[in-house]
Structure 1
């Protein structure tokens, strides 16, 4: 449930036109769980040390904990001004997820009911907007390879973004003058902290893309999306990360089926391959009762080539696979409990690796091929 806690129009001067209604909404989610994982390394730098881990992960099983403010003002004639400020935090300690404060979203914009929405600031990429509805686990924070799929740049700073909704068709496009992503992978820090906007080096750390998504009332959905990121490890020498995606879904009765494909090619500035892979996924969601939903998904990454640095030898790592399952029971629209299980082969859970900057903390132990994780948790939305 989202709560409107302040209505500024009530305090506005009488001279303001009657149609100018302004509201600010406080919203968020807290998701906490207890998790068991086997064969996880103590760190990516110490793969010979580790074992089983039992404790509380800093991110929840289904959602990353967050809070935010969302505001809108009616400007009349079908026009509105809007803003969003959203901050992530670690539910188990209360610490900020990272800096800056509004690390998840921070943007302002205008929208028209017929023409669409134009927004400016830190936002999700068009690629994310086009693909997220086709995630079998609804982009679950645990046991879905979301960052592997979308890229480290699935949120970007300094972005201009257009979103148009035309009946069942959504069109989105964006351009970032400097993505603000600090790393290209876990071993490569980007020039200027990935912020870009360096005089004389316009292409450093920019990002752009677009997507088209159809979600019909007949239960059929489809999407195509593209994303380009130009990370610069050295000022004036950007590489290129290119992603192309296509996905589809079908709903019938209590079932939803999803499948999709994502192409990825990452290149250093000298055009040597950083990472080249094809990523496939398929899933089924079943609403067994109004309160109980279950999800089962399969993920596969065909890794064709990878390099640790721009001049190093090219490797062909083993292809990664994962099977994930979620059982989610809703006590109400705001509170649910869940059990989630993941099994990964030839890699860490959620395909955690240098390509994801080990964001999920599942580095694999040396010589180990399989990893199993089980998490039980509770989530409340407000």
Structure 2
């Protein structure tokens, strides 16, 4: 009788469904630094008089402080359900980053297949981030975290895209490709606030290459690609853009499109890595300039030298040229040099020093003399600006 009971129990156990394995992990980066800005914007009596500034900052460092949760459930046959929720964190106030957006960095769910790639839905990075950004000095592991002037081409993903479906291919002998489609979500207008991006990358040995094209409609509308945080307001009242492009994206009739074409490549020589990137940015059909378009061309070269396993130094030069949209308005030029030195205290903790210097010339989008605009810092009061940072970073 006892043997019969054991046999029945064993058969019952075999009949139970085989539950898929699930994993959920917590991760993040804490990046805090003491910054000195030689000339930050300071409005007094309606005039930008500038001023020196000391401050602690946890969002403009090489990594930008954040925490997140990600998980996966094995559905069998190489297919998994995946999700990510990631939030920027301002250590000095305890508030959320990305304009107070709770999960402002990423928030998506989807399916991932080892054979066919991944389809993801939610708030995500565009193809510039996926195929170009990590070779520029802002997102490179040896970079300062600062973008091209005004982050004109979104190479450090200051802007995320809401309401987005993304496809990411599997790695096909070093080749990867993918893209995004963003739904506008505006009743009665299928195309408003919508857009798409597409990119491909190739990595073989020490060489890496990437190419991207993207086009978005009404980019500065509240909720659209360049104004997508939870505190977004209409273009008629927003103040989030620097003077190099604010006249193209604000007012009653801002640009109705934002287009980016970009390419980047890098090569690793062992202790030395060199990289270069180019982008063309176009704001189309700007109302205040009678439907004209404004264009920018940006070029960057950067490099890193690994002194030893615990120490590296890096350097980057960036050139940005804006073409005139009306008479000399928008005819502006920016030169930027950035450098970083980093020392690893452990695999997860390091200390670093970064220096960025920028000089501007010409006439900005508002018709005034161009002023320096280091990303995540904003307009200077004149055409020169330098930012010094001493920081500590811990990963978990």
Shared fold by TM > 0.5? yes
Tell me if 1:205 matches 2:219: no
Structure with bigger gyration radius: 2
Q: Would you say how many aligned residue pairs link Structure 1 and Structure 2? A: 337
**Which whole-Å CA distance do the structure 1 matches of 2:346 and 2:50 have between them?**
39
Which whole-Å deviations, capped at 9, do the CAs of 1:338-374 have from their partners, x for residues lacking one?
0000110117xxxxx99x9996133111xx2211111
Matched, 1:156 2:161: yes
Shift in CA distance, 301/238, structure 1 to aligned 2, threshold 3 Å = closer
CA contact (8 A) 1:59 1:141 kept: no
Matches of 2:374 and 2:351, distance apart in 1: 27
1:7 counterpart residue number: none
Separation in 2, partners of 1:303, 1:116: 38
Q: What is the alpha-carbon distance in structure 1 between the residues aligned to residue 44 and residue 261 of structure 2?
A: 29
Instruction: Point out the more displaced range, 123-132 or 277-286.
Output: 123-132
Equivalent positions of 1:136-285 (< 5 A) are: 136-139=137-140, 142-145=145-148, 147-150=151-154, 154-165=159-170, 166-178=172-184, 197-217=185-205, 219-231=206-218, 232=221, 239-268=256-285, 270=287, 272-273=291-292, 275-285=294-304
**Pair 243,73 (structure 1): closer, same or farther in 2 beyond 3 Å:** same
The secondary structure found in structure 1 opposite 2:169 is strand
Higher alpha-carbon deviation: 159-168 or 145-154: 145-154
Alignment of 1:53-92 (within 5 A): 53-92=53-92
Displacement, 1:168? 1.0
Unpaired stretches in structure 1, ≥5 consecutive residues:
1-13, 179-196, 308-312, 348-352
| 1:320 equivalent among 307, 324, 334 | 334
**If the length of structure 2 is used for normalisation, what is the TM-score?**
0.78
Q: Quote how far apart the aligned CAs of 1:148 are.
A: 1.9
RMSD: 2.9
The alignment status of 1:342 with 2:356, answered yes or no, reads: yes
Shift, 1:47, TM fit? 5.0
Q: Structure 1 residues 169 and 41, CA, compared in 2 at 3 Å: closer, same or farther? A: same
Helix, strand or coil at the partner of 1:61: coil
Residue 46 (structure 1) shift: 5.0
**Aligned with 1:64: secondary structure?**
coil
Q: 1-side partners of 2:332 and 2:208: how far apart?
A: 32
Contact 2:31 2:65 (C-alpha < 8 Å) held by counterparts: yes
Structure 2: gaps spanning 5 or more residues: 1-14, 222-234, 237-251, 362-368
Distance in 1 (CA, whole Å) between partners of 2:44 and 2:296 is: 21
Provide the residue aligned with 2:317 in structure 1: 298
Change over 3 Å in CA distance of 1:265–1:344 after alignment to 2: same
CA positional deviation for 1:285: 0.9
Report deviation, 1:317: 3.5
